[in-house]
Structure 1
Amino acid sequence: MRILHTSDWHLGRSFHREGMLGHQAAYVDHLLEVVEQEAVDLVVVAGDVYDRALPHVDAVRLADEALARLAASRARVVLTSGNHDSAQRLGFSSRLIDAAGVFIRTDASGVGTPVLLEDEHGPVAVYGIPYLDPDAVREPWSLPVRSHQAALTEAMRRVRADLAERPGTRSVVLAHAFVAGAQPSDSERDISVGGVSLVPTSVFDGVDYTALGHLHGRHMLTDSVRYSGSPLAYSFSEAAQVKGSWLVDLDAFGVREADFVAAPVPRPLARLRGTIDELLADPRLEVHEQAWVQATLTDDVRPLQAMDRLRRRFPHTLVLGFEPTAGATAGVPSAPPRGRSDHAIALDFVEQVRGTPATEAESALLLAACDACCEDPDVDVLVSGTVAP
């Protein structure tokens, strides 16, 4: 059986206010191409189909199109909910949708009930474990402690109990969790409970293949336990990551081979650092001119109109930071001495943060702003509840 493992689509997500839906649609096109070109039998989507519990209608439309196209393809699909999804909304009409070969598993109570498939080597049981909120399952499952490890351990106990009744059946598990040994990025939502979110890989011992979701970088924790990562970069911390999905061949004895299929990159990410003159003049940076850019300027004096100037060369600059090499102007301004006017304090603040004094025009604007915030000495005051004459 040939399996394509993907996760964390986050349909509807933006990137620093830039819409990503067109890029996500391009990934769906790529996914369908891989299914046909690589003769994929099973597509597994390990959670976070949407970016939020109440997704935008355009995101729902894209998800509907993706699942309809997958249902019409040669592959079967097993999909689970992640911590960003609403399990109830994503799982709506799942029993009807099963008939189309798309199996949506969002109900924790059904983790021990597999989707049963067949290949030339015999049966394969696919268990979809949705994201398990320890608070939600602790009481109904009588968990000894409140943790992700306890929740997944009980889910896997149910999986193993079902497998024990199916001798000779190979197993595939989908799970959405933070498993030890993987490195998170800046774009995942924290799922820790009381500081405890890690789950050991041993929880999945004995499973032929475990398809993980939640972390956005690809990871191979063991030969049979892997994260596919997100299909697109969702933070600049992922700039160096190769995005895509795992293509896994399952033979009679388990995983025979697994290859990573890189996804298309609609727009690359670049993290640039240096003085503004260096960034604007360095010919080696030409390769980043059409990338989404995070720039950190190291000028000792903060350049004026820095974003506008950078965007003339790098029109897709999204994030701008300042870290002066001298460090003197980068600190938090100290408390102003007493007895100084608000205008003088504002001028000091500008000079300390920017490294240069305010211009005459800026000084005049700050003076007008300070005056506008001051009490009006001519206003009537209240005396004993009446307006003073």
Structure 2
Amino acid sequence: MKILHTSDWHLGQSFFTKSRKNEHAAFLRWLLNEVEEKCVDALIVAGDVFDTGTPPSYARELYHEFIGELQNKQCTLVVLGGNHDSVSVLNESKALLKYLNSHVVASTNIDDSEQVFALKDKSGNQAAILCAVPFIRPRDVVTSEAGQSAIDKRQNLGNAIKQHYASLYQQACTLRDSINPNIPIIATGHLTALGVSQSESVRDIYIGTLEGFDAAGFPPADYIALGHIHRPQKVAGKEYIRYCGSPIPLSFDELNTQKQVVLVDFNSEEMPSASTPTITPIAVPRFQAMAVIKGDLPAIEHAINHSAEIQKATSDNPVWLCIEVETQDYLTDLQQRVQALLEDKHAEILQLKRVRKRQQSSLSQKENIQLSELSVAEVFAARMALENIEEESEYTDQEAGPPNDRKARIEQLFAEALELVQGNSEDVKSEELVSSKQQDKGEEL
């Protein structure tokens, strides 16, 4: 039995106003080829098929065309709802898709028996049991009670999710025993597990007050296919609990991560036991050239002129760029300057960031000096050294001083303020001393 685990397609995403239609179409064609070449028996999409609850028409077309093409591969499809998906949108074609060897589980607000079913191999044999768990909405698993504290709600919700998994797993064990006690049990999920690494494109899931689900709450399934986190990774160091990640970069900070789908093979001769799978990540090609360029303007110009991706780009498929400019000065024409560097090049700036470069480290990091070891004047001087004081070119106040004296004026104002504070402090000390002497004299009398 071979399972291919994928998730977080986000069909219909608008990426800085750019459509991902061509990328998604290319990925789905590639995925169909992988299903055929690897002889995959079942394909699991662990949530977030669409990017929004109202996907554009072309996204729905891609989804249904893919399902139609998949039927020629003799591969079962399982689609789970994610937090981005609309339950009603997924359910609108559910009744039809069940005749196309496809299972759609949009929410947990259905009978448990509909979330536990057998998966067949290409020979038609029931070769695995699936606990099909989509994104869990709080109202589907727990009833809110008046007077509960935030901690109580969090604990109750975590326990309810854990209990839901345990209940489905028990049903899966019963079904497995009635078919073949040696076939594996697979579970799914679309949530944030504690301790995972996220990316900018991930929309935080706060299930009620639950920020993350403890991996100890998952059932002892033979493989757990998770979705929602876009970076592929194991959970709690377990080989069999995995996020496969999104198939295309959904934000620029995902470019340093190799996108993948995961092949789970329960038929491999290398398996130590019938229920231990061979897990093989399969790298997904990049279907759209994207790059992040960082540095000051000279460094960015050099990177643009020597970028292999930009040199290979065409007018039909330009490179999408995120440029982070390190600058100490506020440049009102920064966008125009950067855009000029791309003249006659097949590249588009989708994101331009201004990053202020710190000249020195913070006081707490510099030579491990503690604030308690410095005088007030020394703290001020060190803090001023971290700032880039932009000189003023014009003055409306003729008494303010010459045009290059802004730093001196700030230092003078600080000195005056410090003198005033210290003067007040000395007055307070003098008053306390006089009061103390008068008190002592009164006690003597």
TM-score with structure 1 setting the length: 0.78
Backbone CA RMSD of aligned residues: 3.1
Letter in 1 for 2:248: L
Is contact 1:149-1:197 (8 Å) kept? no
Task: Give the stretch that moved more between structures: 31-40 or 217-226.
Answer: 217-226
What pairs up with 1:215-294 in 2 under 5 angstroms? 215-221=229-235, 222-251=238-267, 253-282=274-303, 285-289=306-310, 290=313, 291-294=319-322
Percent identical pairs in the alignment equals 26
Q: Write the deviation string for residues 106-155 of structure 1: whole angstroms up to 9, x where unpaired.
A: 13123444221245896411121111111343129xx9735763342122
Is contact 1:248-1:257 (8 Å) kept? yes
What pairs up with 1:176-215 in 2 under 5 angstroms? 176-193=190-207, 196-215=210-229
Q: Write the deviation string for residues 197-234 of structure 1: whole angstroms up to 9, x where unpaired.
A: 21122222310111100000111221211111001001
Determine which structure has the larger helix proportion and give its number.
2
> Kindly tell me: are residues 220 and 326 of structure 1, through their superposed partners in 2, closer, same or farther at Cα, counting changes over 3 Å?
closer
Q: Does 1:311 align with 2:342?
A: yes
Is contact 2:224-2:240 (8 Å) kept? yes
Unaligned runs of 5+ in 1: 342-347, 349-389
Letter in 2 for 1:294: C
Is contact 1:45-1:80 (8 Å) kept? yes
Is contact 2:71-2:101 (8 Å) kept? yes
Q: Write the deviation string for residues 256-304 of structure 1: whole angstroms up to 9, x where unpaired.
A: 3111111120124322111212221347842242432211112333254
Decide which of 110, 116, 119 is 2:118's aligned counterpart.
116
Q: Does 1:130 align with 2:134?
A: yes
What pairs up with 1:1-389 in 2 under 5 angstroms? 1-108=1-108, 109-112=110-113, 113-119=115-121, 123-139=127-143, 145-146=153-154, 149-166=158-175, 167=177, 168=181, 169-193=183-207, 196-221=210-235, 222-251=238-267, 253-282=274-303, 285-289=306-310, 290=313, 291-301=319-329, 302=331, 304=334, 305-312=336-343, 313=345, 315-325=347-357
Letter in 1 for 2:37: Q
Unaligned runs of 5+ in 2: 268-272, 314-318, 360-383, 398-402, 404-445
How far did residue 99 of structure 1 move? 2.1
> Whole-Å Cα distance in 2 between the matches of residues 111 and 273 of structure 1?
51
> Whole-Å Cα distance in 2 between the matches of residues 38 and 99 of structure 1?
24
> Whole-Å Cα distance in 2 between the matches of residues 34 and 155 of structure 1?
33
> Whole-Å Cα distance in 2 between the matches of residues 259 and 178 of structure 1?
23
3-state SS of the aligned residue for 2:40? coil
- Structure label with greater radius of gyration: 2
Letter in 1 for 2:41: D
> Whole-Å Cα distance in 2 between the matches of residues 115 and 39 of structure 1?
21
3-state SS of the aligned residue for 2:276? strand
TM-score with structure 2 setting the length: 0.69
Letter in 1 for 2:357: T
